[in-house]
Amino acid sequence: MTATGRFFEDFNVGDGFESETYTIDREASLAFAKAYDPQPFHLDEEAAAASLFGKLVCSGWQTTAITMRLLVDSLVLGGTGIIGTGIDELRWTAPVAPGDTLRLRAELVEKRAWPGNKPRGILRFRFETVNQDDIVVMTQCANCIVPKRGP
């Protein structure tokens, strides 16, 4: 995929791309958890050690947010904006910890016109968020609204 300004017509099912990387800052992770997911295993080393995770882990919702940042920064949909209508089968498949380095792997799995011949369509991507050890930490199917280039 090229870097920017792609329209609905420019995408083909099977297209894939991989993003740059994002390393999770410890303070940012604690700040996210404090604001949005204030549970002991996201905030406190000792409590986290005694939890199902055995260590301090990031909120799964921070992983979704970081994945969005990786998608925005990839500029794959850069010229058009990325407006999601929904997500299917979001799975947190392995813990994510502060200091981990994540990247996004994507494949376009479906392309469909908007009902009523509107100047936009829906692209459905399968996303895998992967860590520095090549472990898949999150998967999802994302439906995005993408403008058409022409009538």
Pick one of 59, 74, 129, 131: the residue that binds a second copy (CB under 8 A): 59
Instruction: List strands edge to edge, sheet with 136-147.
Output: 16-23, 101-113, 120-130, 136-147
Number of residues lying near a second copy (CB under 8 A): 34
Residue number with CB closer to a second copy (12 or 86): 86
**CB of 100 vs a second copy, minimal distance in Å:** 16
**Contact status: 66 vs a second copy (CB under 8 A):** yes
Contact call for residues 24 and 66 (beta carbons, < 8 A): yes
**Contact status: 118 vs a second copy (CB under 8 A):** no
Choose among 43, 47, 45, 25: nearest CA to 34. 43
Site for a second copy in 17-56 (CB under 8 A): 28, 32, 35-41, 51-52
Q: Is 75 left (phi over 0), alpha (psi -120 to 50) or beta?
A: left
**Contact status: 64 vs a second copy (CB under 8 A):** yes
Q: Which stretch binds a second copy (CB under 8 A): 4-12, 77-85, 105-113, 123-131?
A: 77-85
AA identity, residue 91 = R
Q: Which two tokens stand for residue 151?
A: 């009538």
Helix (H), strand (E) at residue 136:
strand 136-147
**DSSP assignment letter at 48:** H
Pick one of 1, 43, 90, 97: the residue that binds a second copy (CB under 8 A): 90
Residues that bind a second copy (CB under 8 A): 28, 32, 35-41, 51-52, 59-62, 64-66, 68-69, 72, 81-92, 145
